[in-house]
Amino acid sequence: EKILRYLYLGRIKIESYHELCDLLNFANRYSIIPLLKTCQRWVDKRLDLHSALEILQISEEKFCLPLQNRAMEFICLNAPCY
């Protein structure tokens, strides 16, 4: 239902990382570039080290490779080095 609303109205309210994974997988499958960009912006606004670990776990469970890659990139660039 949210995807249909997005296709007609161009707006979507993402409420969880699980929902985000579903949207990203759909957008990737059907090459809906504006939806991909919307999802990426949503992630970038919320991304920190704590959320990156949560995102990584959820993206692995849901086989959401774009989100998994973004979380790994963020962790690699921002994790403290000892």
Tens-digit pLDDT profile for the chain (82 aa)?
Answer: 788 889 899 889 999 988 988 898 898 889 999 998 898 889 889 899 888 988 888 888 888 888 889 899 999 999 887 7
The two tokens of residue 46 are 């919320």
- Record the pTM: 0.76
pLDDT of amino acid 18: 86
- Would you tell me how many other CB atoms lie within 10 Å of the CB of residue 28? 15
- Find the DSSP H helices in 1-82: 2-9, 17-29, 33-46, 49-61, 65-78
pLDDT of amino acid 34: 92
